[in-house]
């Protein structure tokens, strides 16, 4: 039975995300930046994870995640996102407050607890930031979505997720009234800098930079 420490789980989840679910190699330097630690410490951890067969690691060639590693990483992601739903829906945390708390709760080992949590929440498919929640088998149901700034003038859509889940960005979205589920329509695009004028819920006009709009994901409705 695979047993990972708290730190090993954090590294494995980071490798999973940086590799975009195992599609790419991850460099030691990129992982060092993500984990905010020295490359030498990263190398030591990678050797440990390699011994547990959750990654493939060769010095100077980067890291790839194994199938066993993907399954383990997806279970960590599942727990994290379920706890975020619980914190927002049941304990009334705001969506910019939940990440750090869920980072701690995701390391709880009890599979029975997580399954009962999932059932208690009604088996949600997405977390408060719009990210899909893997099921108990590690399957992830994704939906087609595109950055808001890639929509054309007069096209409409619905906000379903955010790329940037930092507290500062989420608080900004709260301030301007752009939330998961909001209906949006592109009224204008500024040729000079790519900024947008957007109609939200058919009642509020927003002016948004290209960078901000690029971090908002939508599904098109027309």
**Residue 33: what pLDDT?**
94
Cα distance between residue 62 and residue 145, in whole Å: 30
Domain tally for the chain? 2
138 lies in some domain: no
The whole-number average pLDDT for the span 67-78 is 97
Percent of the chain whose pLDDT exceeds 90: 90
The answer to whether residue 76 sits within a structural domain is: no
User: Whole domain around residue 19: which residue ranges?
Assistant: 6-65
CATH of the domain at 50: 1.10.10.10
DSSP state of 6: H
Q: Say if residue 172 is exposed, middle or buried (CB neighbours under 10 Å; 0-12, 13-18, 19+).
A: middle
Last residue of a domain, one of 17, 35, 65: 65
Query: Given this model, what pLDDT does residue 61 score?
Result: 83
Q: Of 65, 86, 113, which residue is a domain's last?
A: 65
In a domain, 153, yes or no: yes
| Residue 181 within any structural domain of the chain | yes
Residue 77 lies in a domain: no
Q: Identify the pLDDT of residue 31.
A: 95
pTM: 0.90
Q: Which of 65, 83, 116 is the last residue of a domain?
A: 65
- Tell whether the model's pLDDT for residue 56 goes beyond 90: yes
82 inside domain: no
Q: How confident is the model at residue 57 (pLDDT cuts 50, 70, 90)?
A: very high
Average pLDDT, the chain: 95
Query: End-to-end distance of the chain based on CA atoms, in angstroms?
Result: 49
Is there a domain that residue 134 lies in? no
Is residue 192 exposed (0-12), middle (13-18) or buried (19+ Cβ within 10 Å)?
exposed
Structure-token pair, residue 141: 């149901």
Tens digit of each residue's pLDDT (9 = 90 or more) over 96-107 = 999 999 999 999
Domain annotation covers residue 101: no
Q: What CATH code is carried by the domain that includes residue 181?
A: 2.30.30.90
């Amino acid at each position: 039975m695979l047993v990972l420490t708290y730190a090993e789980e954090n590294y494995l989840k980071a490798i999973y995300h940086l590799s975009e679910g195992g599609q790419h190699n991850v460099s030691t330097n990129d992982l060092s930046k993500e984990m905010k630690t020295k490359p030498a410490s990263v190398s030591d951890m990678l050797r440990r994870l390699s011994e547990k067969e959750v990654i493939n690691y060769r010095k100077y060639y980067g890291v790839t995640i194994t199938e066993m590693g993907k399954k383990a990483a997806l279970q960590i992601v599942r727990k994290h996102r379920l706890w975020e739903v619980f914190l927002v829906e049941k304990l009334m945390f705001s969506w910019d407050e939940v990440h750090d708390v869920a980072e701690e709760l995701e390391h709880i080992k009890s599979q029975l607890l997580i399954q009962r949590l999932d059932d208690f929440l009604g088996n949600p498919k997405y977390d408060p930031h719009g990210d899909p929640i893997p099921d108990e088998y590690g399957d992830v149901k994704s939906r087609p979505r595109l950055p808001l700034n890639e929509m054309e003038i007069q096209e409409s859509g619905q906000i379903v997720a955010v790329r940037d889940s930092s507290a500062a960005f989420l608080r900004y979205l709260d301030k301007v009234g752009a939330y998961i589920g909001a209906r949006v329509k592109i009224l204008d695009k500024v040729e000079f800098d790519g900024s947008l004028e957007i109609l939200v819920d058919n009642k509020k006009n927003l002016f948004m930079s290209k960078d901000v709009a690029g971090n908002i994901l939508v599904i098109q409705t027309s």
